[in-house]
Structure 1
Amino acid sequence: MVAGCGAGGDDDEGGATAAPAAAEQSGQAAGPDQGGEQSPEGPDTSDVPDPVAEVNGTEISRDEFLSVFENQYQQMSMQAQMTGQPVDEAQLKKLTTDGLVGTELLTQEAEKRGIEVSDEEIQAELEEFAETNQVSTDEFIAAMGEQGLDRDAVMEQIDKQLRVEKLITSEFGEFEVTDEEVEAAYEQIGQQQAMAGGGAGGAAGGGGLPPLEQVRGEVSEQVRVQKEAGAMEELSQELRADADVTVHL
């Protein structure tokens, strides 16, 4: 969950996807039930330096990198079990690093523009994450603790995420989702499920996929999140062109 960025995962963006929400809403939230799914071998992190990178003088630590990378590796390992294709660790490390750099650039830009987030907004977002995972806020914090994030770290990441979301909204406006986009996304989900052995239908609605009207809200939100992620990637790339970024990995 509160993984600082989207490190590729289910899409090919590979860019900055701010903290918990993007991970949460793209189905990558590591709730309390998802621990222990990692493959027995686990990823090779022996080559990960500390710091992993510096962004305009701000270090991205090895611990911060690993908290994101290992969560993404866990998710991709689960996908690999279905597809039979091994996880490309080198690519995932690059995506994770690029995502963290992008997120840091966006966070710095939000601070530069004086974008602020209230304690009430942070608490409301925390409660939403907990509700999504069907646990209390204390249980949610405890689950994040198993990933090496104490309460202060979780709240700090939520704060960063909300600042970045406000930055993106100020830059691009609100993201509207059309019925056509929802229907196209639903069709794609159905095809992906069929390719992964989800059922015989082959098209949307087959293989046990619920009727569109039952999941329209979730699909619409997924499309909105994808648009937001694309905007974050676009802005972070613009910022990176003028930034002092050093990557050690």
Structure 2
Amino acid sequence: MRTGTGRSATRRSTAWRSAVAAAGAVLVLAGCGAGGDDDEGGAAETQAAAEQSGQSAEPGPDGEQSADGPDTSDIPDPVAEVNGTEISRDEFLSVFENQYQQMSMQAQMTGQPVDEAQLRKLTTDGLIGTELLTQEATKRGIEVSDDEIQAELAGFAERNQVSTDEFIESMGGQGLDREAVLDQIDKQLRVQKLIAEEYGEFEASDAEVEAAYEQVAQQQAMSGGGAAGGGGVPPLEQVRDQVAEQVRAEKEAGAMEELSQKLRSGADVTVHI
């Protein structure tokens, strides 16, 4: 069992996960807002925050963000090519615009403007890394069954407290129909299997869970939500499983970045943005 990829990989994974946490980047970033009363990053809150900041949460014509959102008029198509496979403008915008909305919400609390140049680079690098991992999974003959895809789809829906049909319908706003959603899930699962094959299963130690919880508590305290040590967040024992899963996800993301960087060193990658 693998307990980590090192402190540096964990730190780097924060930026990595913000752009493409998994192969199904669009699902992870946009689908998490499909619905549910406990949805902290949901579409309703994103829309409300955007309206409060004078921004539109919906892209304008040709995928350009309206009002005070990012100017995407100069985004080329394709954005990049990876071993002959194109990463389209639409793919880029699906991730970039969702991340911009989330970062705009954070900017309201920090007072720091969104660094669009950095976000463009993170999004591009993340999508290139995702494509490299997907290609490597295919090269190794890694496959997933229809049952596995359907189970993952049901999991997405359950976490968002909606039916599978409602989840897929919500993804229509990201330009994904049912076939595209299933394809994203297929890619995500194949990459997860690739990472497990390469690094083994990830675990979160008690010390790591406690450190992650304390970090959240401190951040909450800094934002005025309570005192460090848990005053502004639920007791650790109530959220231990969620924190442990987050730690494991960070480790997996660090491994994804590590492997994608190795693959990129020998790949034919052309970036147009």
1:1-249 equivalences in 2 (<5 Å) = 11-13=14-16, 17-20=21-24, 24=28, 29-32=32-35, 33-34=42-43, 36-37=47-48, 38=50, 39-40=55-56, 41-199=68-226, 201=227, 203-207=228-232, 209-249=233-273
Q: For the residues of structure 2 that align with 1:43 and 1:22, how far apart are their CA atoms?
A: 18
Q: Which runs of 4+ in 1 moved over 6 A?
A: none
Q: Compute the displacement of 1:177 (Å).
A: 1.0
AA aligned opposite 1:189:
V
Q: Alpha carbons of 1:9 and 1:144: their partners in 2 closer, same or farther (altered >3 Å)?
A: farther
Q: Compute the displacement of 1:44 (Å).
A: 1.1
Please tell me whether the aligned partners of residues 9 and 76 of structure 1 are also in contact (alpha carbons under 8 angstroms).
Answer: no
Q: Alpha carbons of 1:211 and 1:27: their partners in 2 closer, same or farther (altered >3 Å)?
A: farther
Question: Residues 23-64 of structure 1, C-alpha deviation per residue, up to 9 Å, x if partnerless?
Answer: 74x998222441535423221101110000000000000000
Q: Identity of aligned pairs, percent?
A: 72
- Give 5+ residue unaligned stretches, structure 1: 1-7
Q: Compute the displacement of 1:21 (Å).
A: 7.7
Q: For the residues of structure 2 that align with 1:227 and 1:109, how far apart are their CA atoms?
A: 20
TM score, norm. by length of structure 2:
0.82
Q: For the residues of structure 1 that align with 2:246 and 2:189, how far apart are their CA atoms?
A: 18
Structure 1, 186-195 or 56-65: larger mean CA deviation: 186-195
Q: What is the total number of aligned residue pairs between the two structures?
A: 238
- Give 5+ residue unaligned stretches, structure 2: 1-10, 36-41, 57-67
Please tell me whether the aligned partners of residues 23 and 134 of structure 2 are also in contact (alpha carbons under 8 angstroms).
Answer: no
Q: Alpha carbons of 1:225 and 1:21: their partners in 2 closer, same or farther (altered >3 Å)?
A: farther
More helix by share: 2
Q: Alpha carbons of 1:152 and 1:22: their partners in 2 closer, same or farther (altered >3 Å)?
A: closer
Quote the RMSD (CA, aligned, Å). 2.2
